[in-house]
A = this chain, B = another copy of it.
Amino acid sequence: MPTTVPLKLEGRPARERILLAAHALFYCEGIRATGVDRVIATAEVAKLTFYRHFPGKNDLVLAYLERQHENWIAWFTAALVRHRPRRGNPLAALVPTIAEWLADPRFRGCAFLNTVVELGTTLPAATALCRRNKQAMTAAIADLLPPSRQRPRQARAIATAIDGVVMHAQFEPDAKAPLQALRDLLRPLLVEAADGGRKTVPTPSTGVIATEATPVPRTRKLRAKK
């Protein structure tokens, strides 16, 4: 459940209640569409209390994004571990992880992409937080890839594909097609490492497809030479 927490307010301090309410409303209904009054009412907090904790709406937005960053990255890395195959390519964890996300009934896309679209250049700190989140996501993806010179680029390509999938999942009737697209985009990488890269040849300058990425047993090469 990467998106929302069930909104258990009782007993929590005011600031926490505000953040929980902000999360639910900002994520599910949009930042611009949600007035401060609504957050205040949902958090069951007095207006003055709100403004004591957050000087203005923008500060709440940034606090929401900070927390969402922590929550989401924690969920994402944990899900990758959870879905990691016993044997074979660790990258295979990606599709079930994203599938889990899209299956959440409260799914409404990526909070960071949505915020960038909603706020544009009006709150640059929000864009910066989005960038940080994508960097962390990319790093988590890189951890699934074998070390190589192209690993960062591969990870960025995969992160880009995932964000395309996440966007499409917001207007497509169900998550099947976007997930299929993700599988199709990842397949070259999955196949490559799954068979040890034997059927591929290193592309020196570029490649997502690079084989030097996978540890090829030297012995094999030597034997082949002989």
Binding site for B on A (CB under 8 A): 29-30, 32-33, 108-109, 113-114, 116-118, 120, 122, 127, 130-131, 134, 153-154, 156-157, 159-165, 167-168, 170-172, 177-178, 180-185, 187-188, 191-192, 199-213, 216
**Cβ-defined contact, B161 with A120, below 8 A:** no
* 6 closest A-B pairs by CB: A164-B164, A157-B184, A160-B181, A160-B164, A203-B213, A188-B188
Known contacts A30-B120, A153-B180, A203-B213; 10 additional CB pairs below 8 A are A116-B171, A134-B168, A161-B161, A161-B181, A163-B168, A164-B165, A184-B206, A187-B207, A188-B207, A188-B210
Q: How far is the CB of A180 from chain B (nearest CB, A)?
A: 6
Closest to A113 in B: B167
* A202 to B187 CA separation, bound complex (whole angstroms): 12
Q: How far is the CB of A185 from chain B (nearest CB, A)?
A: 5
Q: A113: which B residues are within 8 A, CB to CB?
A: 117, 167
**Cβ-defined contact, B212 with A118, below 8 A:** no
With beta carbons under 8 angstroms apart, the residue of B108, B184, B205 that contacts A207 is B184
Please report whether the interface of chain A is mostly helix, strand, loop or mixed according to DSSP: helix
**Cβ-defined contact, A211 with B201, below 8 A:** yes
* A103 to B117 CA separation, bound complex (whole angstroms): 18
Q: A200: which B residues are within 8 A, CB to CB?
A: 209-211
* A165 to B168 CA separation, bound complex (whole angstroms): 13
**Cβ-defined contact, A184 with B118, below 8 A:** no
Q: How far is the CB of A5 from chain B (nearest CB, A)?
A: 20
**Cβ-defined contact, A161 with B185, below 8 A:** yes
- Can you list 13 contacts pairing A with B, beta carbon distance less than 8 Å? A30-B120, A32-B33, A154-B184, A160-B178, A161-B161, A164-B165, A187-B207, A187-B208, A187-B209, A188-B208, A192-B209, A199-B201, A209-B210
Q: A210: which B residues are within 8 A, CB to CB?
A: 188, 200, 209
Instruction: Please judge, given known A-B contacts A203-B213, A207-B187, A209-B188, whether A163 and B167 are in contact too, CB under 8 Å.
Output: yes
With beta carbons under 8 angstroms apart, the residue of B153, B154, B159, B213 that contacts A201 is B213
**Cβ-defined contact, A157 with B134, below 8 A:** no
Closest to A116 in B: B171
